[in-house]
Amino acid sequence: MVRAVDTTTLEQAAAKSAIVDAYIAAAEEIFRKDTETNLSIGEHGSKWLLANAPVKSPESKVSVLTHCNTGSLATSGHGTALGIIRSLHSAGNLHHAFCTETRPYNQGSRLTAFELVYERMPATLITDSMAGALFATQKASRYIAAVIVGADRVVRNGDTANKVGTYALAVLARHHGIKFIVAAPTTSLDLQTTTGADIKIEERKPEELTQISGAVVGPDGKIDVSRVARVATAHQEIGVWNPAFDVTPAELIDAIVTEKGVVEKGENGAFDFRDIMPERWAAVVGK
């Protein structure tokens, strides 16, 4: 946005409107590019999953689980991880979508669940701690083929920082023979950081674990969105550790889907992004 204004030639009288016009034009271009990127991620990811799914229904449909929110409320309208699910659904290849609540801030239950219902996708909400039981008891019968997540950052070797709880899902997916897919635009790829050990993890306020707020549910079971209440969910004097993200090692990730294509691990067990972003790779890493 700053670049858009800096490159605008201004005359004193037209300065205000020119700046506004430059901001709007830049914002609309960002929106357009992000939509294009999301649609490409959805196409690449859905095709890769259907070709590599460990289980499928007789109609070649698959079920997936996603964590946190990566849909239209987080992007320009299609989504990254949820964009892959949307692409599966629009092509008639989605059997069922599961979303975790994503404690403690509940992005999955507040946002992703809303999007799945709004889009009329077959979907089920589970608590974060139910994923292992779901995989163990329903993988075959529900055709659960993959866990698909977004990424706050993917570093050079493929280690991925994402909403806390992602790492545990990757471990469970590997144990149960389920694919683990990261969906991320190339703008989320950090070539300067070599491994996830160098990612600084944000810690959020303790009240997210000990309190919760939401619309009031009346005695008749109806939700009154005009009334919001905040309630305690734990003793307010308990110590709290609340990291916002965790890092999933590259060894637990089967594919990283970008708008440029799908990247799989090489023979050395690491991801190599030089083919999808050769100019950035050459500038940061070299030959």
User: One-letter amino acid identity for 186?
Assistant: T
Q: Is the pLDDT of residue 38 over 90?
A: yes
With cut-offs at 50, 70 and 90, classify the pLDDT of residue 267: confident
The DSSP bridge partners found for residue 189 are 154
Q: Which ranges in 125-261 belong to alpha helices (H)? A: 131-138, 166-175, 207-210
In this structure, the number of other CB atoms found within 10 A of the CB of residue 76 comes to: 17
Q: Is the pLDDT of residue 8 over 70?
A: no
Whole-angstrom Cα distance, residue 40 to residue 9? Answer: 35
Q: Is the pLDDT of residue 109 over 70?
A: yes
**Known catalytic residue at 224:** no
Q: What is the pLDDT of residue 57?
A: 97
| pLDDT single digits (tens) 158-192 | 999 999 999 999 999 999 999 999 999 999 999 99
If one compares 14 and 244, the residue with the highest pLDDT of the two is 244
Q: What is the pLDDT of residue 269?
A: 81
With cut-offs at 50, 70 and 90, classify the pLDDT of residue 11: low
Q: What is the pLDDT of residue 22?
A: 84
The DSSP bridge partners found for residue 232 are 211
| pLDDT single digits (tens) 223-266 | 999 999 999 999 999 999 999 999 999 999 999 999 999 999 98
H/E stretch holding 282 reads helix 278-284
Q: Name the active-site residue from 34, 152, 159, 246.
A: 152
H/E stretch holding 229 reads strand 223-232
Q: Which ranges in 7-144 belong to alpha helices (H)? A: 15-52, 81-90, 107, 113-118, 131-138
Q: What is the pLDDT of residue 9?
A: 59
Mean pLDDT of the chain: 94
Q: Is the pLDDT of residue 14 over 70?
A: no
Q: Is the pLDDT of residue 26 over 70?
A: yes
Q: What is the pLDDT of residue 233?
A: 95
With cut-offs at 50, 70 and 90, classify the pLDDT of residue 286: confident
| pLDDT single digits (tens) 199-217 | 999 999 999 999 999 999 9
Whole-angstrom Cα distance, residue 183 to residue 87? Answer: 13
Q: How many residues does the chain have?
A: 287
| pLDDT single digits (tens) 122-161 | 999 999 999 999 999 999 999 999 999 999 999 999 999 9
Q: What is the pLDDT of residue 7?
A: 63
